[in-house]
Structure 1
Amino acid sequence: MSNGIVAFQEKDHDRLVDIWYNAVVHTHTFLTEKDIQFYHDLVKNGALKEVEIWVEYNEHGEPTGFIGLNESKIEMLFVDPAHHGKGIGSRLIYHAIKIKGTNLQVDVNEQNDGAYVFYKRLGFVQVGRSELDGSGQPFPLLHLELKGEVNADY
């Protein structure tokens, strides 16, 4: 398989769960091990099947990152930490724009400064905030939206 972005394939499920886990440990330093295990169980036991998943593969045919969409909402975007800073996240966002349009929404954990800066650089703006995350846990979310064109300078 060559590199590129393709639709989710069941054979990659466990690898995507690993990418999710490694990325969360690397970027969500505000979570405890117990918190991470709670979310890991959700991802491992079905969360990937509840959204439209697109996967980026490297030149060796290995998944390096993925985006999960529910209509025009980005429900998840995770890149293997070994591949951070290589444009994978941006390419996955551009792919989402190509198939869903430019009115995308995403929620990011308030404590995840890296994610907030990433989306802000692409042109997302904060339109709201919630005290609890989608699972009712006390991890505030920032609600972001992309209106119009993505920042191509990024």
Structure 2
Amino acid sequence: MMIMIRPSRPDEGARILEIWRGAVDATHDFLMPEDRRAIDEMVCGFLPHAPLWLAVDDNDYPLAFMLIDDGHMEALFVDPDRRGTGIGASLVRHGLARHPGMTTDVNEQNDQAVRFYEKMGFRPTGRSPMDGQGRPYPLIHLAYSG
């Protein structure tokens, strides 16, 4: 299977939310149910309209997405059925080609993501005890170091 990376289109919002929900359910078991619902509501309001990079298969079907804002990777989510296939790494490399000093944040409780970013060459630059919405989910701040 060939993976291509391209910008998202306005008609792909439902698939993007499907990827996000599946990935969060597979990797964010630390979220309290009420926080998961609140985050879902917030994400539904902006994600389908955000300027995303999509990884798509031979049939142009979205398998993963990445959101970069001013050199900071705000989001990277892979369809849970495609995890471990290199799609996430392909998106990160695509982002790094455009933003060599790319930064990101990762939930400290998401061990798999922490290991993934370290393997990709990101190093910790700091830590926050709360997430961006003030919830008790610590973040590790990362920067690409090659």
TM-score class, shorter:
over 0.9
1:95 counterpart = 2:94: yes
1:60 deviates by 2.2
The amino acid that maps onto 2:64 is G
CA separation in 1, counterparts of 2:48 and 2:141?
21
1:58 deviates by 1.0
CA separation in 2, counterparts of 1:3 and 1:45?
28
| 8 A contact 2:20–2:77 mirrored in 1 | yes
1:48 deviates by 4.7
TM-score normalised by L of structure 2: 0.94
Post-superposition CA distance 1:12-44 (Å, at most 9, x none): 111101100110010001012222111111111
| 8 A contact 2:123–2:143 mirrored in 1 | yes
CA separation in 1, counterparts of 2:23 and 2:8?
18
CA separation in 2, counterparts of 1:113 and 1:3?
26
Long gaps (5+) in structure 1 = 150-154
3-state SS, counterpart of residue 52 of structure 2:
strand
CA separation in 2, counterparts of 1:23 and 1:88?
13
CA separation in 2, counterparts of 1:138 and 1:67?
24
Q: Root-mean-square deviation (CA), in Å?
A: 1.3
CA separation in 1, counterparts of 2:76 and 2:48?
11
Identify the residue that residue 12 of structure 1 maps to in structure 2: 12
1:71 deviates by 1.1
| 8 A contact 1:110–1:142 mirrored in 2 | yes
Identify the residue that residue 25 of structure 1 maps to in structure 2: 25
3-state SS, counterpart of residue 14 of structure 2:
helix
Identify the residue that residue 73 of structure 2 maps to in structure 1: 74
| 8 A contact 2:74–2:105 mirrored in 1 | yes
Post-superposition CA distance 1:53-75 (Å, at most 9, x none): 10011122210000000011000
Identify the residue that residue 142 of structure 2 maps to in structure 1: 144
Long gaps (5+) in structure 2 = none
Superposed structure 1 runs of 4+ greater than 6 Å apart: none
1:61 counterpart = 2:55: no
Identify the residue that residue 124 of structure 2 maps to in structure 1: 126
1:39 counterpart = 2:22: no
